[in-house]
Structure 1
Amino acid sequence: MAGCVSGPDYTLPANAVAAAPAARRAFVSGHEAAYIQAEPPDRWWQLYDDPRLDAYVSEALRANTDLRAADANLRRATAMVLQVRAEGSVGTDADASATLARAGGYTSPSSPPQVYALGIHLSYPLDLAGGIRRAIEAASADAEAVAAARDQVRVVVAATVTRAYVGICSTNLTLAATQRVLDTQRATLDATTRLANGGRGTEFDVSRARAAVNRSAAAVPHLVAERQAALFELAALMGRLPADYPQDVANCQQPPRLQQLIPVGDGSQLIQRRPDIRAAERSLAAATAMIGVETAALYPQVSIGASAGMAGSFKKLLGSDSIGASIGPLLSWRWPNRRTTHARIDAAGANADAALASFDGAVLDALRQTETALSAYAQEIDRERSLALARDDAARASDQAGQLYRFGRIGFLDVLSAEAALADAESALAASRAQRVDRQVDLFLALGGGWAEAGNRTLASGRTQD
């Protein structure tokens, strides 16, 4: 009888999305030239081969406040498992008392005026219906879900640190592009002023050239503010005060670049790797175990109890006639409340169905996010390539317009138009370069790397273990 366990044994449901063959295939958008079908590394940020980025992520994984809270939640969940396990072990309690007996306001002469008692009681639940074992399964699965949630925080922290670092370098890159445009426009303003002073130009041309300079210069304060915001965010992610942001990254001029194709794996590896999927699967296992916990209430709860003690006056406390002991089974059964118990079983089953739906949703969202990120990154590479060609053409056109204007072949409005086109092309290219790296971070975030210290990342396919 002690080998019986109430409720269903947990297995990965056959109708779960994670078990579908289509969910485990190669990604639809993974055939682009930017990808290879190898599994991505856990520490994906090391693909950039940037020691400074690696140091920032490592510090954040040690000191980030969200991770500290996640670690505390995991310790609490682990303690709850120990608490539930203790319910299946021997329970003990002891008592001691001293009583002064009185009757009618005076001490009774027929009994000792003072009675002492010492006792110890033991009980061990037989857990014939397996309710305690199911409770341990549920608590263990809950703790594993919390551990997976902690791993998900690691994924987000690593990605956010990388994004902040990239944002700083990309903003400086945009600042440099803006400065190049400003230099060109200021040179045009100087030439226009000389021509106006020599009678070959007008003040109207000078005013328009100065307006172009001021318009480009107005973009600089906004870019500086963006860079400072990213620096302060990076400091907070690393557990530092805002004023203590890393000084060495403030002047970073180039975002990190990948020197290799991005390994993306397939759907099967993604399902095993993403911690949010694992958390949802562990929550489903816990909900399934709770059906057994509630089902066990239908059966008698049997335990073995034993007690020993002594009672009497102080002088006779150790005498043989003051010592007593007992041992035997203890039975309890909530027979009158079976309708309530069945209602709780039905509620536990509904919770398990909801957990399965959440698990399926987590898998679908992970596949959608990954496919979207794969497509977006591949398209951004093509966009950056086209914008680089457009910038080169705009730079040649600006140089040619300046020369033609100096020889009187075109009007000053053509010069301003060419320089405006160059400014737009430089800004668009800088933004695309920043967006490309940002798309990379989105992709790595969707792939879910950055948490596993070991290679054990398989979803449970059978009953969870005690």
Structure 2
Amino acid sequence: MMSLLASMRLYLGPALATSLFITGCAVKPPVRKVVVETPSGWTSVAGEGISLQPAELDAWWKNFHDAQLTQLIDRALAGNLDIRVAVARIREARSQAGIADAAKYPALGAAANVQRLRGGLPQGIGRVANLPGISNEIGIFQVGFDANWELDFFGGTRLAALAAREQARAAEEALQGVRLMTAAEIARLYVELRGAQQQREIVQQQIAVARETLELVRTRFEAGLAQQLDVTRATAQYETTCAAAPPLEAVIRDRHDRLSVLVGMPPASLNEMLTDAKPLPMRPPEIPVGLPSDLLQRRPDIRQAEAELSAALAQLGVAQTERFPKFALTAGVGRQATSVAGLTLGAGNFFAVGPNVRLPIFTGGRIRNNIAARDAQVEQAALRYEQTVLRAFEEVERALVGYLREGERRRALAAATLEQQEAARLAEVRYAGGLEDFTTVLDARRGQLSSALEQVESETQQLRQAIALYKALGGGY
């Protein structure tokens, strides 16, 4: 055995020296510079509720001060099926990275072989005569270990491992993106649910008022103080108001089901939790947005695109190393024996060790085209990264404009709603006193209902824009 180890050192020593010498020629990861013009600031930040302070996005949904919303998002982050799929993809990507990294190390295996042959002896031993009492069957026994190590002279294995690690990082960023989208979708649906419930209450109140008005007009008609036309108009107003309720019920039902599925439960599973109407969540008193350059480090989709570009560059480097020779060290050690007619022949140890070189001479353009294909993939990844960054800037600007302008609309509608309420009250008083006809009352009632519904819709829309702004800024956990 000592002689075996000495022989292996004799072969391995020069090979390792050669490895250290050629490693200096290793291919380095290619570099592709992507230049994206980053604005120095946001164009739409002047307005109520927005500041340029660094964005505070950790658990951003808590800024709406709604315990049920926080509970729903926490449950969704734990049970949403899209998130669980993304987690499984991370496990897959990390395992693939481990496979790629394992190629950097020697592979050691063990094997055992037992054969029974009839009709002759292998390894040059002559046939056994068919003599009486002598079997022409032989047995071959072999057991041993073998090792193989591909020497990464030109960095191909290292670059392949780097590409796999970057793919795993991209999968991790994709998970954060799914978490962000899930939290934003839960918040949006919850806000729409509460908004629809608020609108339903307004419609129900207006239905009660329209019913009382219809009864009043009928009483006046029977007393000869109103015309049949007034009764017809009051009836039409009542039916029109009732018709506004079913669409709101459909929205409420749909949001119930969607929220249940997003938290990983069957539809209608959250009915007990969400059936009772509650006010809309509070608007955050102030949303700090920071600077555009902050998005490059904060948004998970940008970080994912960056990781995918790094992986594509590493794969390009792997393709470039295919132009160079492949060096490997192989070794084997074991024991073998042959038996015939009950006698053991050729028993003893064996070993084999030596280098293996594979040089690409002619591949029909495969290597060249593979490099060109990988280079095209790098270009695509670079363009996707640039597009992702530009889209991020656009989404923040759009959410900022929507949030600020909707705030202006909400304040105007709040003032209009108060005026409409007063106008409806005065119209009813004057109609009861015979100073106005019923048309004035109907117009005032329609205006009051429309203004109240629009105010709730505007409040809901501004909350949706706030959620979109948090999402565009990159969220946080």
- Scaled by the length of structure 1, the TM-score of the pair is 0.90
State whether structure 2 residue 85 is matched by structure 1 residue 69: yes
Q: Distance in 1 between matches of 2:271 and 2:430?
A: 47
CA RMSD across the alignment: 2.1
| Structure 1 counterpart SS, 2:238 | helix
Alignment match, 2:98: 82
| 8 Å Cα contact 2:186/2:259 also seen in 1 | yes
Amino acid at match of 1:445: K
Which structure 2 residues correspond to residues 154-303 of structure 1 after superposition, within 5 A? 154-303=179-328
| Structure 2 counterpart SS, 1:381 | helix
Q: Which has the larger radius of gyration?
A: 2
| Structure 1 counterpart SS, 2:352 | strand
* Cα gap change, 1:202 to 1:318, in 2 (>3 Å): farther
Q: Distance in 2 between matches of 1:318 and 1:354?
A: 65
State whether structure 2 residue 360 is matched by structure 1 residue 334: yes
State whether structure 2 residue 51 is matched by structure 1 residue 36: yes
Q: Which whole-Å deviations, capped at 9, do the CAs of 1:152-197 have from their partners, x for residues lacking one? A: 1101110111112111111111012212322332232222122112
Amino acid at match of 1:205: D
Alignment match, 1:2: 23
* Cα gap change, 1:291 to 1:190, in 2 (>3 Å): same
Amino acid at match of 2:307: R
Instruction: Give the C-alpha shift of residue 62 in structure 1.
Output: 0.4
* Cα gap change, 1:318 to 1:255, in 2 (>3 Å): farther
State whether structure 2 residue 119 is matched by structure 1 residue 94: no
* Cα gap change, 1:333 to 1:238, in 2 (>3 Å): same
Percent identity of paired positions between Structure 1 and Structure 2? 28
Which shifted more, 53-62 or 86-95? 86-95
Q: Distance in 1 between matches of 2:218 and 2:344?
A: 115
Amino acid at match of 1:75: R
Which shifted more, 148-157 or 338-347? 338-347
| Structure 1 counterpart SS, 2:115 | strand
* Cα gap change, 1:339 to 1:386, in 2 (>3 Å): same
Following TM superposition, the consecutive aligned residue runs of length 4 or more in structure 1 with deviations greater than 4 angstroms are 314-319
Count, aligned residues: 443
- Scaled by the length of structure 2, the TM-score of the pair is 0.88
* Cα gap change, 1:35 to 1:318, in 2 (>3 Å): farther
Amino acid at match of 2:109: D
* Cα gap change, 1:308 to 1:316, in 2 (>3 Å): farther
| 8 Å Cα contact 1:311/1:317 also seen in 2 | no
Q: Distance in 2 between matches of 1:357 and 1:399?
A: 61
Q: Distance in 2 between matches of 1:235 and 1:112?
A: 73
Unaligned stretches of 5+ residues in structure 2: 1-21, 130-135
Q: Distance in 1 between matches of 2:456 and 2:316?
A: 57
State whether structure 2 residue 169 is matched by structure 1 residue 148: no
Amino acid at match of 2:262: L
Instruction: Give the C-alpha shift of residue 407 in structure 1.
Output: 1.4
Q: Distance in 1 between matches of 2:24 and 2:78?
A: 45
Amino acid at match of 1:6: V
| 8 Å Cα contact 1:5/1:129 also seen in 2 | yes
Instruction: Give the C-alpha shift of residue 318 in structure 1.
Output: 11
Alignment match, 2:132: none
Alignment equivalent of 2:35, drawn from 16, 24, 28: 16
Which shifted more, 76-85 or 304-313? 304-313
Q: Distance in 1 between matches of 2:118 and 2:258?
A: 75
* Cα gap change, 1:428 to 1:30, in 2 (>3 Å): same
